[in-house]
């Protein structure tokens, strides 16, 4: 039985596009039923519309309290009978309103190898700038379940890449984005196949034959 998926975005939505493409190729047994953004100009909303996926912008000014904001999201999630939430470049704090309702059912993609270069103020280009300044030799991306902390939830999938010493932060970003587009659909695939088990802070991936 297919899983119903909601994707939350704040910007361009290239990770959303990787999920849309993977769905079209029947890479995972799920369907993106809903896209939500906190940014009315997010191109991710346009990507959704181009693919006939219901897309909603929720205005922060109408719901200044984060809990009230997430309550509006929760209403949409219930209306569309969502099984999995994917944060794909969603730059907004997620409150316990959503975390408690979707425990171990909210995934986030982070552009580094957690727990390194994660947490407060580590998002987007800031991550790659920090890596560059520290002279890191490897980077990559991480998909993890969301908990009450910042980038502290159980890790589902990671992939590393070596960094060319001459790369600038923009070069690192491009290379890491390719990894993101690969491992986010993979994590969704595992979820849709009921292959993920969370024990305390660890995620175990069942073999497909189990």
Distance CA(2)–CA(191), nearest Å, equals 11
Residue 56 CA to its chain's centroid (Å): 17
Please choose, from the candidates 101, 110, 192, the residue with its C-alpha nearest in 3D space to the C-alpha of residue 150: 110
CB 169 within 8 A of CB 136: no
Distances in Å between the Cα of 3 and the Cα atoms of 8, 74, 81, 116, 166 are: 16, 17, 9, 31, 43
User: Is 110 annotated in the active site?
Assistant: yes
Active-site residue identified among 110, 128, 144, 181: 110
The residues annotated with a catalytic role in the active site are 110
């Amino acid at each position: 039985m297919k899983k119903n998926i909601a994707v939350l975005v704040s910007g361009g939505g290239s990770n959303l596009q990787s999920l849309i493409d993977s769905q079209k190729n029947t890479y995972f047994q799920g369907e993106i039923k809903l896209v939500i953004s906190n940014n009315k100009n997010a191109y991710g909303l346009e990507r959704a519309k181009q693919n006939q996926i219901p897309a909603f912008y929720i205005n922060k000014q109408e719901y200044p309290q984060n809990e009230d904001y997430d309550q509006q999201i929760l209403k949409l999630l219930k209306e569309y009978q969502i099984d999995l939430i994917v944060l794909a470049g969603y730059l907004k704090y997620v409150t316990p309103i959503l975390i408690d309702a979707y425990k171990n059912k909210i995934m986030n993609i982070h552009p580094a190898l957690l727990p390194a270069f994660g947490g407060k103020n580590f998002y987007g280009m800031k991550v790659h700038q920090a890596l560059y300044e520290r002279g890191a030799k490897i980077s990559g991306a991480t998909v993890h379940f969301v908990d009450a902390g910042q980038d502290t939830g159980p890790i589902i999938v990671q992939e590393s890449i070596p960094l060319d010493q001459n790369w600038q932060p923009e070069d690192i970003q491009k290379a890491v984005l390719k990894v993101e587009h690969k491992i986010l659909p993979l994590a969704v695939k595992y979820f849709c196949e009921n292959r993920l088990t969370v024990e305390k802070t660890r995620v175990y991936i069942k073999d497909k034959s189990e």
